Chains A and B, each alone.
Chain A
Amino acid sequence: QSVLTQPPSVSAAPGQKVTISCSGSSSNIENNYVSWYQHLPGTAPKLLIYDIDKRPSGIPDRFSGSKSGTSATLGITGLQTGDEADYYCGTWDSSLSAVVFGGGTKLTVL
């Protein structure tokens, strides 16, 4: 059981927008930075968002991040079939003294 809770799956049509939630607590998301990763099977995870809402160089602005209280959200607009992947949130948990991740959300682009 992961410390951070994500929906197991989300789906949307090409060109549409989707959001993926990441729920935590005051010991993790509420008081720490959040990162998001895209993971295609058989490849290395890719950092999409860091420090809640910042994108590394090369990540298109179709990807966005936000946080409110104990929850964080990843948004993807203009969905493409190439966006089909597993997405993970991560943050520091001050009670556990560990970096923690969500269980992952599988995105299907119908």
Chain B
Amino acid sequence: QLQLQEAGPGLVKPSETLSLTCTVSGVSISSTNSYWGWIRQPPGKGLEWIGNMYYSGTTYYNPSLKNRVTISVDTSKNQFSLRLSSVTAADTAVYYCTRPWGSYSPSFDSWGQGTLVTVSS
């Protein structure tokens, strides 16, 4: 059974880089045709797609975040990661790692429990 678990600092200072990892269990992260992604939810607001990554490393980012976001994979640890640079208070959110069904698919069938990241000095 597929399980996803986010990990990372809960507090990040403004202008610094937010870094989160997602550990995948129950399936190989490099399984053929598999995608992995990140979604966030600011407090009191709706969901926001951050980006997806194909198992081969090809990435698809939300244009609104594209200049600041990097999603990468570490197959040796069965993990994938999110880095978001130059954060501001607007980046405070619960961050979810997910499994999308395609590069541009709105269907995400597995989610981590989510981790709250607060941007504050």
> Which residues on A are within 8 Å of B, measured CB to CB?
2, 32-35, 37, 43-47, 50-51, 56, 88, 90-92, 96-104
Contacts and interface: CB of A to CB of B under 8 A. Distances in A.
20 contacts: A35-B106, A35-B108, A37-B108, A44-B112, A45-B111, A50-B101, A88-B46, A88-B47, A96-B63, A97-B63, A98-B49, A98-B63, A99-B49, A99-B105, A100-B49, A100-B106, A101-B46, A101-B106, A103-B45, A103-B46
B62 interface: yes
What is the size category of the interface that chain B forms with chain A? 20 to 34
Contacts, number: 65
Given A44-B114, A45-B96, A92 B104 contact: yes
Contacts of A35: 106-108
Contact of A56 (B105, B109, B112): B109
A91 B106 contact: yes
A73 to B, nearest CB: 16
B64 interface: yes
